[in-house]
Structure 1
């Protein structure tokens, strides 16, 4: 009897571990089967013109991802901002671009998005003269926290989506950080499938990062923003912005970098238009 009880309790424990993922998968499947609201379609046409460049199958997949994202990830207004469907759909569409090739669990560590009307101010410790640490106030357009929050400026979200070919997109940038942070910290090397993939990624990214640092020191970063020379995590986020918005330029000027990002995201934006 005791052995049977232990066995039964063990089965219950296994079921408890299996049931949530199965239920989540079923719920997400049901969400994607629901009609995509016409009002949301109009928002995409008006606010996220890049969506029109996607092949029809990817547009359909993106809409399903948007439905799941908005059902699972609350977007909370800060600074007296009242969050509207226009804001929610605009953010979700851009965040889900990174998941078109593979969902990676729909940002499993993300608990909420905090949305500000414009740039928000944060205090960051910096080294002051004499080795003393002091807080420095900075105005930011976006930030991604390992603890499960993404902070965004609505003004910058709109600007990033309005021109899908300028290589600047705060939503893509911060959600690339979320992917990088899946392992608990950000270092510019997101979760990859094999040791060989890590070795190739490290070789390509290190060479491109060092080249960007050199160009930035000369005052000409080229295609990639000089902000990417800050550290490897920022380099990955900046490179992701350019990959999604200026794929042709990246493929010509940085073919190895384009190849690594295409393999990671399992997407080829060159084929989109």
Structure 2
């Protein structure tokens, strides 16, 4: 697990303009980006490539353009928050497709339960971000369907920056209070719907925990903001302030 070892500062990354144009052309989120946010994205993506090692696994090969696209996608949620969002991790692991992880849990009676999960993304609180390349590509191909695995996992990384993965990233104190109140109210309402077996406007996985609620709502901000605004206007307003105006209608 080499990402836990200290590394020397890497040389600054210079992104070739032609490579940038080619990478940007393949991302729907950048088709209507304004000049100011595009100017902020460029140094963020360069710093990402400097600080974060992109490691393809299981025979996957990623070319220069694909690596830059991953950096761009990971940095879109940081356009307002800034480079501090890259703090605390140094590796992006990329599987060709969904990947399996072994889980274990000891219940109240001391019985150990073990099982396998199939995942398309994961963010370790003090470790790497892990993505399925097939699912990243699917989100790029159909960007308006409520799914964005990169936004989901980067939301978890932002959430963890204050030392607690609880659905509230680091914020100014007054904003944090309003955020926590509005998110809790929306989360509780969603859990009530799920517990009653009613259909929900957003993915019911958001009811798993407050941190998953934040991450799933972040996906909707980047992929289907109209649904989020209709179902949870207060949450949508907080996320627009946190991430900036949505890049898709």
Would you say 1:94 and 2:73 are equivalent positions? Answer: yes
In 2: Cα distance, 1:250 partner to 1:106 partner: 24
State which of 12, 25, 36 in structure 2 corresponds to 1:45: 25
Say which SS state the counterpart of residue 105 (structure 1) adopts. Answer: helix
* Residue 227 (1) aligns with residue 209 (2): no
Indicate yes or no: 2:47 matched with 1:68: yes
Instruction: Name structure 2 gaps, 5 residues minimum.
Output: 1-8
Contact (CA 8 Å) 2:85, 2:157: kept in 1 or not? Answer: no
TM-score (normalizing by structure 1): 0.80
Q: Taking structure 1 as reference, are residues 135 and 52 closer, same or farther at Cα in structure 2, changes over 3 Å only?
A: same
Q: CA deviation at 1:60?
A: 2.6
- Contact between 1:188 and 1:235, CA under 8 Å: does it hold in 2? yes
Q: Is the 8 A contact 1:123 1:137 kept in 2?
A: yes
Residue 199 of structure 1 deviates from its aligned partner by 1.8
More helix by percentage: 1
Q: In the alignment, what sits opposite 2:194? A: 216
Q: Is the 8 A contact 2:22 2:65 kept in 1?
A: no
Give the one of 187, 191, 203 matched to 2:170. 191
Greater shift after overlay, 97-106 or 153-162?
Answer: 97-106
Q: Give 1:238's aligned residue.
A: 216
Is the counterpart of residue 256 in structure 1 residue 242 in structure 2? no
Judge conservation of contact 2:44–2:83 (CA < 8 Å) in 1.
no
Deviation, 1:90, is: 2.0
- State how far apart, in whole Å, the 1-side matches of 2:28 and 2:117 are: 31
- Partner residue of 1:135? 114
How many Å separate the matches in 1 of 2:127 and 2:152? 16
Name the residue aligned to 1:122.
101
RMSD: 2.2
Q: Superposition pairs for residues 152-163 of structure 1, below 5 Å?
A: 152-163=131-142
Shift of 1:102: 2.6
| Secondary structure in structure 2 of the residue aligned to 1:146 | coil
Which of 20, 36, 57 is the equivalent residue of 2:36? 57
TM-score by length of 2: 0.87
Of 72, 75, 79, 2:58 maps to 79
Q: Which of 198, 202, 207 matches 2:180?
A: 202
Aligned length: 239
- Structure 1 residue ranges without an equivalent (≥5): 1-23
